[in-house]
């Protein structure tokens, strides 16, 4: 599919030069002058479609312009002989081209549907998504709610309301008697080794899931 954000600069340069000026020297000179436009074209394309680059390695020496992936983001080297400079804390050595390696075209289709969210989680954490007959590495189960989550009363088995603002008694949060019981609507299962490698654990995972989970749904995260 053609797009104003997808342009082959080499072909465009060649097609617009006179036949006697299509040699490597002339083309290279014009190509270098159009580099800023090429860079913007790549940035727009990757934002829309996503990007896959080799993961950053602290022991590798990177040339200027080399692009790598690090911590779900995409970085471009700003210097030659770039070694040992962690991209996210070395702004003089690396420029963050994209904050998310997954393209916008794909991300706008994510939602809290079990299969879709399983796919999204496995892609984000680099694990395996399997469908339809076997479990993915990260998988979700829907929990059956069999008990009421809230009862407002001292002795009644149901809410007893006088008017709209007064219940029949105090509802304790803990201890004996009727009280609020939190119930998780679904559970997300992570392989133990994958979970252990996630800096921030549950909080980090929830930052991703909460973007797509339906408001009001409650979930828990566990390992296996």
Structure confidence by residue, pLDDT tens digits, 28-85: 555 555 555 555 666 678 888 999 899 999 999 999 989 999 999 999 999 999 999 9
Same domain, 120 and 213: yes
User: Among the three residues 70, 104, 138, which one is the final residue of a domain in this structure?
Assistant: 104
The answer as to whether 4 is a domain residue is no
The answer as to whether 139 is a domain residue is yes
User: Among the three residues 75, 104, 133, which one is the final residue of a domain in this structure?
Assistant: 104
Same domain, 126 and 143: yes
At residue 147, the pLDDT reads: 59
Proportion of the chain in helix, strand, coil states, percent, rounded to 5: 30, 15, 50
- Where is pLDDT greater, at 190 or 132? 190
The answer as to whether 133 is a domain residue is yes
The answer as to whether 93 is a domain residue is yes
Q: Where does the pLDDT of residue 211 fall: very low under 50, low under 70, confident under 90, or very high at 90 and above?
A: very high
The CATH number that applies at residue 90 is 2.10.10.20
Count Cβ atoms below 10 Å from residue 202 Cβ, excluding itself. Answer: 15
**pTM of the shown model:** 0.67
Residue 188: closest CA among 134, 156, 147, 224: 224
- Is residue 30 within 8 Å of 13, Cβ to Cβ? yes
Same domain, 118 and 215: yes
The answer as to whether 1 is a domain residue is no
Same domain, 145 and 184: yes
CB under 8 A, 24+ apart: contacts of 131-137: 137/191, 137/194
Q: Look up the domain containing 117 and give its range.
A: 107-223
* C-alpha distance from residue 203 to each of 77, 80, 206, 220 (Å): 30, 37, 5, 11
3-state SS assignment for residue 187: strand
Same domain, 126 and 216: yes
Number of domains into which the chain is organized: 2
Instruction: Indicate the average pLDDT of the chain.
Output: 80
Q: How far apart are CA 207 and CA 200, in angstroms?
A: 10
The CA angle 65-70-71, to the nearest 5 degrees, is: 155
Average pLDDT over residues 157-167: 52
At residue 164, the pLDDT reads: 47
- Where is pLDDT greater, at 193 or 173? 193
Same domain, 191 and 162: yes
Residue 60: closest CA among 48, 75, 45: 75
Q: Where does the pLDDT of residue 22 fall: very low under 50, low under 70, confident under 90, or very high at 90 and above?
A: low
Same domain, 180 and 141: yes
Same domain, 66 and 142: no
User: Among the three residues 104, 128, 156, which one is the final residue of a domain in this structure?
Assistant: 104
Average pLDDT over residues 186-214: 95
The answer on pLDDT for 25 being more than 80 is no
Same domain, 74 and 116: no
Residue 95: closest CA among 115, 73, 111: 73
Give the DSSP H/E element, type plus range, for residue 190. Answer: strand 186-190
Q: Where does the pLDDT of residue 133 fall: very low under 50, low under 70, confident under 90, or very high at 90 and above?
A: confident
The length of the chain is 224
Same domain, 146 and 74: no
- Maximal C-alpha separation, the chain: 96
């Amino acid at each position: 599919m053609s797009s104003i954000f997808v342009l082959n600069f080499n072909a465009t340069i060649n097609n617009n030069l006179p036949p006697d000026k299509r040699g490597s020297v002339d083309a290279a000179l014009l190509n270098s002058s159009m580099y800023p436009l090429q860079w913007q074209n790549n940035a727009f394309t990757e934002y829309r479609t996503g990007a896959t680059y080799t993961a950053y390695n602290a022991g590798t020496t990177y040339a200027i312009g080399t692009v790598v992936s690090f911590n779900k983001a995409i970085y471009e080297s700003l210097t030659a002989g770039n070694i040992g400079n962690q991209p996210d804390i070395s702004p003089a050595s690396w420029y963050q081209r994209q904050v998310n390696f997954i393209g916008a075209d794909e991300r706008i289709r994510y939602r809290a549907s079990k299969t879709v969210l399983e796919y999204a989680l496995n892609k984000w954490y680099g694990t395996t998504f399997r469908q339809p007959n076997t479990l993915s590495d990260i998988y979700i189960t829907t929990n059956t709610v069999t008990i009421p989550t809230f009862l407002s009363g001292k002795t009644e088995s149901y809410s007893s309301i006088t008017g709209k603002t007064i219940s029949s008694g105090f509802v304790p949060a803990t201890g004996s008697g009727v009280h609020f019981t939190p119930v998780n609507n679904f559970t997300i299962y992570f392989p133990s080794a994958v979970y252990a490698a996630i800096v921030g654990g549950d909080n980090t995972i929830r930052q991703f899931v909460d973007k797509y989970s339906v408001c009001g749904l409650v979930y828990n995260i566990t390992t296996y």
